[in-house]
Structure 1
Amino acid sequence: MEALQEILYKRLKKIKQAYRDYENNPYNPALVHELRVDTRKLRSVIHFLKHAFGEKEYNRINRELKSFAKTYGRLRELDVLTEVCSTIALRQPDLSEHYYDMFKYLREERNREMKRTFNKTNIEAFNGMLESVEQAIDMLSIEMDTSIEDYITDRLKTKKTVLIKEYEELDMTDYNAVHDVRKRAKKLRYSARYLRPLTGKKHKKTIKRMKKIQNALGNYTDAHVNAELLDELGAKMKNEELKKLFAYMGRIENQSK
């Protein structure tokens, strides 16, 4: 039990450090991404062990972790979108005379979203989440008919088999299904990676296969989110030239799916 708790405490500590780094420099897109990824890693492991926490306790801490990660979702989307637009602008420099205005607008949107992450409600939610998760880890007590080693190994194998089958039969025109499979592949990859010390195995094949699925679906899901955000931002534009530029960028992203 102590070995499992140590793994969970380590992931929680990573979130604390990532948050501190973000506090120190919220202008760095890499730090926003790192904070969200570290949160997702802990959520993945906790989700994998949800039966060990009990339904009520699991739902509570998962809800808080999910809400915390969502706080930075829009900020991350704007960072990704800015990078995508920058790539297009470098590739097609003569496409528009309004690139400067577009990037200025994206920067202003990002600054507004960045400031929102530091409001009193979000800061209190972060501290409350840390307290809740730490308390849940402290009180973790697993009662099962099999060993923790067999439990994790069998669960990894079952989830891997189901996920590969769903991936092979996936309808790529169904965004929600594609997003769901990619998300679950991430969860399984992180669970295999961080829980493997408890199994005595490296689970390299599982980790490698889940990463392959995640990457294969990544461009599609990212392009979908980018296109939707471009449409949303373009709809706000009063400047017709900027509206046209956002619409063009959106078409490019839709075509890349």
Structure 2
Amino acid sequence: MSVKEVLQQQYHQIQIEWLRYQNNPYEVARVHDLRVSIRTLRGLIKFLKPALSISIYNQLNTDLGEFAQHFSDLRDLDVLIAKVGEYAYQYPENGSNYPELFKQLQHRRTEKMVQTLNKESQVIIEKYLDKVNTTLKDLKFEGKIDQGNMMAKEFKHRDRKLMSNIIIWIFKTMSVFIMYVNVPKRYVIQRLILQIMCLRKNTSE
């Protein structure tokens, strides 16, 4: 299978996940799988960046990024709801603010979900998909594809980015606990420091 065929295959997977999401937007896995399929194609494009013209790379990366951005808030809420759910399960309390918190989070999720499915959003999303498809069909590579060097650089970059994203998510999750759940700030800060230390240890090994 050629490189272009691999890219086209992944593009087709995005189309499938987009259709699955439209069929059942209430299922958490649907938005997750859709974003993963988009991220996978962006990763492939980034891997091939040295063999692409700057204009083509920027166009593909931007179009896929704009597509994914439509579902960013929804996915963030899904992860947050899951994290808060785990915390509520581990630390049950009488008279807590858990019910109100989950009610607000689910309400916000419904709002974000509806936004992704309105006519205006669907027109924009389909436009980005068509642009990506056209670009992939006309794709031409410049120079030799050095897979070994490309992979080494990409893995190094992803390690740094993953560490940064995880730390940001820890801060977001802990801030929600402080706002809505009756948890001492000292305890939250201690947990935050411990998690960051563990992350740094794991990524350095």
Q: Same fold (TM over 0.5)?
A: yes
Are residues 251 and 157 of structure 1, via their aligned partners in 2, closer, same or farther at CA, if it must alter by over 3 Å?
closer
1:143 counterpart SS class? coil
Q: Is residue 52–residue 140 contact of structure 1 (8 Å, CA) maintained in 2? A: no
In the alignment, is residue 94 of structure 1 matched against residue 31 of structure 2?
no
| Equivalent position amino acid for 1:154 in 2 | N
In structure 2, the partner of 1:17 is 16
Question: 2-side partners of 1:8 and 1:248: how far apart?
Answer: 49
| Equivalent position amino acid for 1:85 in 2 | V
Question: 2-side partners of 1:111 and 1:248: how far apart?
Answer: 30
In structure 2, the partner of 1:156 is 151
For the aligned residue pairs, the C-alpha RMSD in angstroms reads: 2.8
In structure 1, the partner of 2:202 is none
TM-score for the superposition, normalised by structure 1: 0.66
TM-score for the superposition, normalised by structure 2: 0.80
The Cα of 1:245 is off from its aligned counterpart by 2.0
In structure 1, the partner of 2:104 is 105
Are residues 95 and 222 of structure 1, via their aligned partners in 2, closer, same or farther at CA, if it must alter by over 3 Å?
farther
In structure 2, the partner of 1:193 is none
The Cα of 1:63 is off from its aligned counterpart by 0.8
Q: Is residue 31–residue 75 contact of structure 2 (8 Å, CA) maintained in 1? A: yes
Count how many residue pairs are aligned between Structure 1 and Structure 2.
193
Question: 1-side partners of 2:2 and 2:140: how far apart?
Answer: 12
- Matching of residues 155-174 of structure 1 within 5 Å: 155-160=150-155, 163=156
Higher relative contact order (CA closer than 8 Å, sequence separation 6+): 2
Q: Is residue 89–residue 99 contact of structure 1 (8 Å, CA) maintained in 2? A: yes
Superimposed CA distance per residue, residues 166-193 of structure 1 (whole angstroms, 9 cap, x where no aligned partner): 8xxxxxxxxxxxxx7443xxxxxxxxxx
Superimposed CA distance per residue, residues 194-231 of structure 1 (whole angstroms, 9 cap, x where no aligned partner): xxxxxxxxxxxxxxxxxxxx5x7775343134245x28
Superimposed CA distance per residue, residues 51-110 of structure 1 (whole angstroms, 9 cap, x where no aligned partner): 433111221221111111111111111111111111111111116432111111111010
Are residues 217 and 57 of structure 1, via their aligned partners in 2, closer, same or farther at CA, if it must alter by over 3 Å?
closer
The Cα of 1:127 is off from its aligned counterpart by 1.0
In structure 2, the partner of 1:245 is 181
Please identify runs of 4+ aligned residues in structure 1 that moved more than 4 A: 216-219, 246-250
Are residues 43 and 84 of structure 1, via their aligned partners in 2, closer, same or farther at CA, if it must alter by over 3 Å?
same
- Matching of residues 51-200 of structure 1 within 5 Å: 51-94=50-93, 96-144=95-143, 146=144, 148=145, 151-160=146-155, 163=156, 181-183=159-161
The unaligned stretches of length 5 or more in structure 1 are: 167-179, 184-213, 235-242
In structure 2, the partner of 1:222 is 169
Question: 2-side partners of 1:112 and 1:158: how far apart?
Answer: 39
Question: 2-side partners of 1:246 and 1:7: how far apart?
Answer: 50
In structure 1, the partner of 2:200 is none
The Cα of 1:158 is off from its aligned counterpart by 4.6
The unaligned stretches of length 5 or more in structure 2 are: 197-205
Q: Is residue 72–residue 117 contact of structure 1 (8 Å, CA) maintained in 2? A: yes
Are residues 76 and 247 of structure 1, via their aligned partners in 2, closer, same or farther at CA, if it must alter by over 3 Å?
farther
Identity of aligned residues (%): 27
Are residues 93 and 105 of structure 1, via their aligned partners in 2, closer, same or farther at CA, if it must alter by over 3 Å?
same
